[in-house]
Structure 1
Amino acid sequence: MEYSIFKDTLVDMPYPEIEESIKQNACVLLPVSVVEEHGPHLCTGTDIYLTQSLSQKVKQKLEAKDHQVVIAPPFYWGVNSITNSFVGSFSIKPETMTTILLEILENLKKWGFKKIFLLNFHGDFIHIKTIADIVAKANEKNIEAYFLIDSNFISRMDLNKDASYLVKVKLDPNKANLETNVIDIHAGATETSWMALSYRELVNTEKAKALKPTNLTLADLQQWVKGGEIAKNITPLGYCGNPSNIDLSKIKTMADIIAEKYSAEIINVCSH
C-alpha cells in the first residue's frame, strides 16, 4: 500500500481528526487529474499518482512553515480529449466532471473548510479549462476555491487572466521539464522519472529505457492534440517524448522546486 493515492489524505483520517484540522483553519489540497494511458512503460494512473505526489510534497512544505493543511481524496475522473482512442483512457464529459467536483467542493465548505486549492498534473486543455470553469462556479456559490495553474498555460489558453481564483505558478519551462531536445509532454522523461522517483513499483524501467524518442515536430503536435485516431496514429505507442531519459537526481531537484513554488503561492493566498 506504499503507493496508495489515499496515503496522507482525509480518507485515512478518523472524522474527529478532520474536525480538529478544520478548527485549526487548515486549507485543503484537492488533487484533480485523470486515468489515462501512458505508453507501454507507465500505468494508466500516472497523472493522478503524480498529482498526489505533488500534493504530498506541497503539504510537507506548508507544514514546515507552520501552515495547517489536509489533502482531499484525489479526483481522477477528468477529461481525456487526446488519448481517448486508447484502452485505459477514461473519457468523461466536462459536464459530468463539473457536477461531481462542485458537489465535492460543496461538501468541503459545508464541513467548515475555508480555502480549497485544486492541483492538476494533466495537460489536456479541455480538462484544464473545465477545472477553471468549475472553480469560477464554486466562487459564485461563495466557495473559496482556487486553481493552482502553471502560468505558461494561462498565456496559451482562453482563460480569465485576472481572475483571483486562478493562482498563477511561474515555472521556467526549461526547469520544469527534464527533456529539452525533443517535445516531451506525455509519458516522456519528466513523467517517467517522477514516477520512478515516487512510485518505482509502477514503472517498467527496462521497457522505458528501450523506447526511442518520438521526435514530433510542432506540426505533428498540432495534429496530435486533435485526439482520437489522429493522435493514436502519430503516437501509436501512447507516449510523446523520450521515456528513456530517466534521471532521478534531476527530477528530485525539479520536484522540490515545483513544490516550493506551489506552496509559496498558497501561503500568499492564505495571507490575504
Structure 2
Amino acid sequence: MTSGEAKGGDVFAGTLAELTWYEVDHAARSGAVLLWAFGVIEQHGPHLPTGTDVYVPSARLRAVQALLAERGVQALIMPPYYWGVNVVSGSFPASYSVRPELMREVMVDLLAGMARDGFRHVFCFSGHGDALHNRTIHDGVRAARDRTPADTSFVTEPALARRIGLDLDDPSLTLYGPDEPPPPGPADVHAGRWETSLMMHSHPELVREEVRARLEPSGLGASDLAIWRQGFDAARRVTPDGYFGDPAAAGAGEGHRLHALAAEQAADAIALRLRRPPRLRPPAQTAHPSRTEE
C-alpha cells in the first residue's frame, strides 16, 4: 500500500489500521517492514496542538514509506503510539505520561504480536525529545530484540542518541543524519521555529496562526536549557508559556525542507540496514514473549 497525505488530523490515515487482516498478512508474507512512531500528548505552547509530537512523526513516516517504495522496499505504518513518558512538560495541563516500565512492556507485547504476524523488521521513531521517553523506547526495542526474532531498531539521530547516553555502535539503533553539535545562539528545542515550521508544513490547519505570529522569541540559552530539562515545575518556570525558541520565525517552506531532508536520511538508513545479513533467531525459550520472565 502506498499512502498519501493524512486528511486533517487523522493519525490513522495511511496506516495499518485501514487495512484488512488479509492485506496485513499478505504484506508480512511479502517481506514488508513496519514503521512505528512514538509520541506523547503534551503542551506545545499557545499556538500548536497537544498532539504535535504525534502529527510530526506520522507525517514523516508517510514520506519515509514513499521513499522506501522508490527503493523497492514495501513498508506499512503502524498507528502511532501516543501515551509516552513526559517529564519536561509534566507540570502543564494536557501533558500526560505513563510509567516507563509500563510503556516498555506494552511495546514488547505489541512488537511480539508483529513478529508473530511474520514481520521481520520494525523501525521505531520518536516524535518527542524528552530524554526518559527516548531511553524508554530504546529499552523497549532492546527487550523486544531479546524476546522475539524480529530485527527491531530505534531510528534516531546521533545527537539524540548521545544526549541520552547511548552507544552509537548499539545494534538496536538505526542512525540517520549527520553527527553535528547544535548551532550556536539561542536554543530552539520545543514548539519553536523548527517544530512550528514542521507543523505549518504538514498540518497548517492545526496551527493557531494569529497567536503564533505575535509570539516573542524565548531568547534562552544552554544554561536555561539545562534547567528546563529537569522538567516539571523547573521547566514551567523557564518557559511559562510552554515554548522554547522562536515560533514567529517559522515558515511552511522551512518545514517542507526539514521534513523532506529527515525523511530522505531515514529512508537511506533503513535501506542500508536491510542490506545487512539477517540476525539469528533467539533461543526457543524466548519464542513466547507474552509470558512473564521468571
TM-score tier, shorter chain, comes to: over 0.9
The match for 2:281 is none
Pairs within 5 Å for 1:16-165: 16-142=22-148, 143-165=150-172
Larger Rg: 2
RMSD, aligned CA: 1.6
> CA–CA distance in 2 between the matches of 1:54 and 1:171?
18
Q: Report the more deviating stretch, 149-158 or 229-238.
A: 149-158
Matched, 1:200 2:207: no
Shift of 1:180: 6.6
Q: What amino acid is the match of 2:123?
A: F
Matched, 1:253 2:257: yes
Correspondent of 1:219 among 194, 203, 223: 223
The match for 2:275 is 271
Normalised to the residue count of structure 2, the TM-score between the two structures is 0.88
Matched, 1:189 2:200: no
* Contact 2:198 2:258 survives alignment (8 Å): no
* Contact 1:182 1:242 survives alignment (8 Å): no
Q: What amino acid is the match of 1:227?
A: G
Normalised to the residue count of structure 1, the TM-score between the two structures is 0.95
> CA–CA distance in 2 between the matches of 1:28 and 1:130?
19
* Contact 1:36 1:44 survives alignment (8 Å): yes
* Contact 1:28 1:69 survives alignment (8 Å): yes
Aligned in 2, Cα 1:243/1:172: closer, same or farther, shift over 3 Å? farther
1:112 counterpart SS class? coil
Q: Give the unaligned 5+ runs of structure 1.
A: none
1:83 counterpart SS class? coil
The match for 2:245 is 241
Shift of 1:45: 0.3
* Contact 1:82 1:226 survives alignment (8 Å): yes
Q: What amino acid is the match of 1:48?
A: V
* Contact 1:36 1:80 survives alignment (8 Å): yes
Shift of 1:169: 1.2
* Contact 2:200 2:255 survives alignment (8 Å): no
Shift of 1:181: 4.7
Tell me the alpha carbon deviations over residues 172-208 of structure 1, each in whole angstroms, 9 at most, x when there is no partner. Answer: 658xx9x975211000111111111111111001111
> CA–CA distance in 2 between the matches of 1:62 and 1:16?
22
> CA–CA distance in 2 between the matches of 1:132 and 1:172?
19
* Contact 1:184 1:241 survives alignment (8 Å): yes
> CA–CA distance in 1 between the matches of 2:179 and 2:167?
21
* Contact 1:171 1:258 survives alignment (8 Å): no
> CA–CA distance in 2 between the matches of 1:28 and 1:199?
24
